[in-house]
Amino acid sequence: MRKTRWALLVLLAAVIAVVVAGYYVQKQRMVLLTPTKPPPLPIELNSLAKNWTWSHSTEDRPQVEAKAGDFRQVRGSSRFELADVELKIFSKTGDRYNLVRSKKAEFDQPAERLYSEGEATIVLGLPASGQPEPGKRYVEIRTSGLTYDNKTGTSDTDAPVTFQFDNGEGRAVGARYDSANRYLWLKKEAEVLSGGVRIHAGELHYREGESKIELRPWSRLERGSQTIEAGPATLYLEAGEVRRIEAQQGKGRDLRPGREVEFHSASMEVFLTPQKTVELAKGLGGAEVVSRSASGVTQMSGGRVDLEFRTVEGSADSELTQVWVREKARVESRPTDASQTRILTSEMVKLVMRPGGEDVQSIETQSAARLEFLPSQPSQWKRVLTSERMSAQYMTGNRLDTLRAFGKVHLRSDPPRQVKSAAPRLTWSDDLQAWFTEKGEMRELRQWSNFRYQEGERQAVAKSARFDLAGNQITLQENARVWDKTSQTSADLLLLDQKQDRFEATGKVSSTNLEKQALFESDRPVHATAQRMESRQGNKVLEYRGGARMWQDGNSVRAEQIVLDRPSKTLHAAGGVVSVLVEGEEPQQRTATITADTLVYTDEDRRAFYKGNVRMRRDKMAVRAAEMEAFLRPASETQKGQSRLERALARGRVEILETAATGPRPGRRSYAEQAEYLSGEEKVTLRGGLPTIEQPDRGFTRGAELTYYLDDGRLLVSGQAGARSLTHQRLKRN
């Protein structure tokens, strides 16, 4: 019994042990299966979470979605602390969004404002559905201190910003992006590099919807050797590329080896090609272009300047092709050598550039123009040309080749400063063309259509004129006429050789002189004609050739050549000389005509010397001789009705023939080696060579010296020792 009781006790103890052991095992199991109680929250937080998300939508589309790896809510506020943040800001159409990433940020839920103290990245324009376009470089902005306001859709920072986009990159200090209006503001020190163009500005405003960029308050654009500095500027985009630039107070510069170009104006507009090269540049308001090279400086200015460019295929740069200068245009060229400075002014000037865009090929004005040639040396002329229109062609190196002027042409040429008291040369015409040397000096000038000329007292007209400037000669052609206060000359062609102080006229020469001439002492004009005329020594020596004739009233000289020497007051005539002197006045006017091979007249003794086949015809008397001297009375001492021929002396086989007073019968004939005629006494004296007087039907008389009077027929016979006088007289038969 006792053994059974002990066995039961042992069994009960064993059961209890098993039960207790099972309880503890079960309890331990329950402990293992029960979740661990979280640690208590920090006292400063309301909540703490992982993988936080938040979104805001309208009825038909999302506006913003946010998520973070870690989420913490600050106790007593609506502010959330987020880590590993991603914020999607959707466009109005919902097809694209801007992505903001930040390692750490704070989010104010009621205000819907996110702030990132550390580094933040913004990617713009990502597709809302599908993957980003392969190879596309989206706009990406990196900054810190970023604030995103969901209510306004703006992102804002005052910290430094760097960004990249499809065709470039940039930086700034401070930025603001308005997603609703697609507006980006780079607040300070903005710098953008795109397609080789670097943009600098005090601040930059990008208005995506309007496809334009505004630069304020100053701007600077750089591309290779080209630079534009300006005040406010606006860049207009096409397909995300800058295609047009508007700038205020712009100043452009292009620096290349051996060449520098500057361009500035109050307002500037630049157009770019798809290759990002310059296509057109416009300057408005005080526009100016200055080009400097080894050959000199060219300065262009006006109210407006347009520069046209072209881009050669395969080239990264454009080259200048044309320049238009408008509104009081002015183009000044200052060569580095000794050439003259040229200043062209007009309402509009067009410059065409040579291939390469560095040298001028041609210049043309479309309105009235003025061109000045300013001397750089004392030996150079100063010239001022005006006309209704001008054009010029250039050689390489911006050296002037030819110049044309059209309509109402006027050229003023002032002699070099070293030429004292020289009058300016003034010319007018409808057309002008000039040629230049390689050194830029004008070498030849032509003017035609209604040409006029004036230099001091000398003036001229012609259909056309040619100036040989090196030889200082002027050639006037067709209906040419030149005159001063004392004379005038017309001819088919007139040559003024100012270098040798010589004047030539050719073809149908006709001249008139108001000065008293040798042989012609009257105050009436002296006229002359010839096929050719030459004036030398400042119009002091005049030579007429080819059917020359000189006359005053009825007095005249005709010969193949007539030379008038004014200083010595002599006249030389040669070749078929015919001189005519008028005696008395009408109706009793008589003439004395003398012909010879040559004539020399000296005014000092008023002596006319005729030589070779001399013939004189006067009233009813004709004289033949080898030579003859005629002495004239001064015009001031000649009485009314009195002959200027005071006396004449004929020598060499002299023959005198008188016509009969009445009837057709021949008159008295005289022979001698020498004969002298005194007009005051109407006396003829024959000497030498056995003087003989024949009287038809009356016989003849011979003697050593015979004297007879034309008025009353008296005859005096003088003998000589050893010589006999002979009179043979026929008697009339009854």
DSSP symbols for 454-512: EETTEEEEEEEEEEETTTTEEEEEEEEEEE-SSEEEEEEEEEEETTTTEEEEEEEEEEE
Three-state secondary-structure class, residue 93 = coil
Residue type, 353: M
Summary mean pLDDT of the chain: 83
Taking the C-alpha atoms of residue 597 and residue 130, their distance in angstroms, rounded to an integer, is 120
Chain centroid offset of residue 519 CA: 55
Nearest to 241 by CA among 196, 190, 180, 194: 194
Query: Does the pLDDT of residue 572 top 70, yes or no?
Result: yes
Q: Of 513, 512, 542, 548, which Cα lies nearest the Cα of 530?
A: 548
> Could you tell me what percent of the chain has a pLDDT over 70?
86
Which pLDDT band holds residue 10 (cuts at 50, 70, 90)?
very low
- Per-residue pLDDT band for 11 (boundaries 50, 70, 90) equals very low
**Residue carrying the six token digits 């990249």:** 164
Q: What per-residue confidence (pLDDT) applies to 731?
A: 46
Nearest to 660 by CA among 697, 624, 691: 697
Helix (H) or strand (E) holding 15: helix 2-33
Q: What is the mean pLDDT of residues 120-143?
A: 84
Distance CA 171, CA 165 (A): 12
Report cis status (omega within 30 of 0) of the bond before 217.
yes
Q: What integer pLDDT is reported at residue 273 of this predicted model?
A: 87
| More confident call, 14 vs 348 | 348
For residues 570-583, one letter each, b for 16 or more C-beta atoms within 10 angstroms of the residue's C-beta and e for the rest, the string is bbbbbbbbbbbbbb
Tokens at 591, concatenated = 């003439």
- CA distances (Å), origin 221, targets 226, 253, 278, 403, 663: 8, 10, 12, 39, 114
547 falls in which pLDDT band (50, 70, 90)? very high
Mean pLDDT across 514-539: 78
110 vs 666, residue with greater confidence: 110
* Reported confidence tier of residue 649, pLDDT bands at 50, 70, 90: very high
pLDDT at residue 122, rounded to an integer = 84
What pLDDT does residue 9 have? 40
Cα separation, 248 vs 540, whole angstroms: 68
C-alpha distances (whole Å) from 174 to each of 157, 169, 194, 618 are 5, 16, 20, 119
% the chain with pLDDT above 90: 34
What is the band of 15 on the pLDDT scale with cuts at 50, 70, 90? very low
More confident residue, 606 or 233: 233
pLDDT band at 625 (very low <50, low <70, confident <90, very high): very high
Under the banding of pLDDT at 50, 70 and 90, the label for residue 397 is: confident
- Winning range, highest mean pLDDT, from 6-10, 65-69, 71-75, 344-348: 344-348
Weakest mean pLDDT among 48-57, 170-179, 362-371, 540-549: 48-57
CA–CA separation, 161 vs 157, rounded Å? 8
Across residues 255-259, what is the average pLDDT? 78
Say if residue 468 is exposed, middle or buried (CB neighbours under 10 Å; 0-12, 13-18, 19+).
Answer: middle
The pLDDT score that the predictor gives to residue 305 is 92
Q: Quote the pLDDT of residue 231.
A: 93
How many CB atoms within 10 Å of residue 670? Answer: 23
Q: Is the predicted pLDDT of residue 43 greater than 70, yes or no?
A: no
Task: For residue 455, give every residue at least 6 positions away whose Cβ sits within 8 Å of its Cβ, in sequence order, or none.
Answer: 423, 424, 425, 426
The predicted model gives 342-368 an average pLDDT of: 91
- pLDDT, residue 521, reads 60
Given phi > 0 = left and psi -120 to 50 = alpha, else beta, which region is 597?
A: alpha
Residues in CB range of 661: below 8 A, 6 or more apart: 620, 667
Q: What is the reported pLDDT for 138?
A: 81
pLDDT-derived band at 492, boundaries 50, 70, 90: very high
Model confidence at 454: pLDDT above 90 = yes
The string of pLDDT tens digits covering residues 270-315 is: 898 888 788 999 999 989 999 888 888 889 999 999 999 998 877 7
Q: Which residue has the higher pLDDT, 472 or 560?
A: 560
* pLDDT over threshold 80, residue 518: no
For residue 725, the model assigns a pLDDT of 59
Q: Per-residue confidence at 734, pLDDT binned at 50, 70, 90?
A: very low
Q: How far is residue 701 from each of residues 55, 246, 686, 696, 713, measured CA to CA in Å?
A: 159, 118, 12, 12, 13
Q: How far apart are CA 657 and CA 285, in angstroms?
A: 94
Instruction: Report if pTM > 0.85.
Output: no
Residues 391, 362: contact at Cβ < 8 Å? yes
Q: Looking at the predicted structure, is the pLDDT value of residue 366 above 90?
A: no
Specify the 3-state DSSP secondary structure of 100: strand
Contact 533, 489 (CB under 8 A): yes
- What is residue 665's predicted lDDT score, i.e. its pLDDT? 56
Two tokens, residue 646: 């005071």
Residue 585 CB neighbours (<10 A)? 10
Residue with tokens 């006067």: 618
Query: ∠583-585-587 over CA atoms, to 5°?
Result: 115
pLDDT at 225: 80
Give 379's DSSP letter.
T
b/e map 202-222, b = 16+ CB within 10 Å: bbbbbbbeebbbbbbebbbbb
CB distance 488 to 510 below 8 Å: no
pLDDT of 41 higher than 60? no
CA pair distance 447, 441, nearest whole angstrom: 18
- 662-689 pLDDT, tens digit per residue, is 445 567 899 999 999 888 888 899 999 8
Q: For 77, which DSSP code? A: S
Q: Are strands 705-709 and 715-718 parallel, antiparallel or unpaired?
A: antiparallel
Residues present in the chain in total: 734
Look up residue 703 and give its two tokens.
Answer: 């003697």
Tell me the C-alpha distance between 374 and 417, whole Å: 12
